[in-house]
Amino acid sequence: MGSNRSTEPASLTIGELRKMTDNFSKERVLGQGAYGKVFKGVHANGKEIAVKLLHNNIQGIDDGQFKQEFHNLMMLNHHNIVRLVGYCFETQHQHMVHEGEIFFCEMTYKALCFEYMQRGSLQKHIHDEAHELDWDTCYKIIKGICDGPYYLHEGCEKPIYHLDLKPDNILLNEHMLPKLADFGLSKFFGEEQTRVTQFPLGTLGYMPPEYLFQNIVSKKVDIFSLGVVMIKIIAGPKGHSRSAEMPRKEFLDLVQENWRNRLQTTSTPSQPLEALCQQVNICTKIALRCMDTDRHKRPTIVHIIDKLNGTETVIDKALS
H or E element that contains 91: strand 84-98
- The full DSSP string for 19-59 is HHTTTT-GGGEEEEETTEEEEEEE-TTS-EEEEEEEP--TT
Phi, psi (deg, nearest 5) at residue 105: -135, 160
Helices (H), the chain: 14-20, 63-75, 135-150, 209-214, 219-235, 239-245, 248-266, 273-290, 301-319
3-state secondary structure 102-148: EEEEEEEEEEEEEECCCCCEHHHHCCCCCCCCCHHHHHHHHHHHHHH
Q: What is the DSSP letter of 238?
A: T
Residue 172 one-letter amino acid: L
Cβ-count burial 5-22 (b if 16+ within 10 Å, e if not): eeeebeebebebbeebbe
Cα–Cα separations (whole angstroms), residue 305 to 210, 220, 286, 300, 315: 24, 15, 10, 9, 16
In degrees, to the nearest 5, what angle opens at C-alpha 169 toward C-alphas 165 and 173? 125
* Residues noted as catalytic: 164
Alpha-carbon span 164 to 182, nearest angstrom: 8
Q: Computed over its alpha carbons, how large is the radius of gyration of the chain?
A: 22
Q: Which residues contact 265 (CB under 8 A, 6 or more apart)?
A: none
Alpha-carbon span 59 to 242, nearest angstrom: 45
Phi, psi (deg, nearest 5) at residue 158: -115, 135
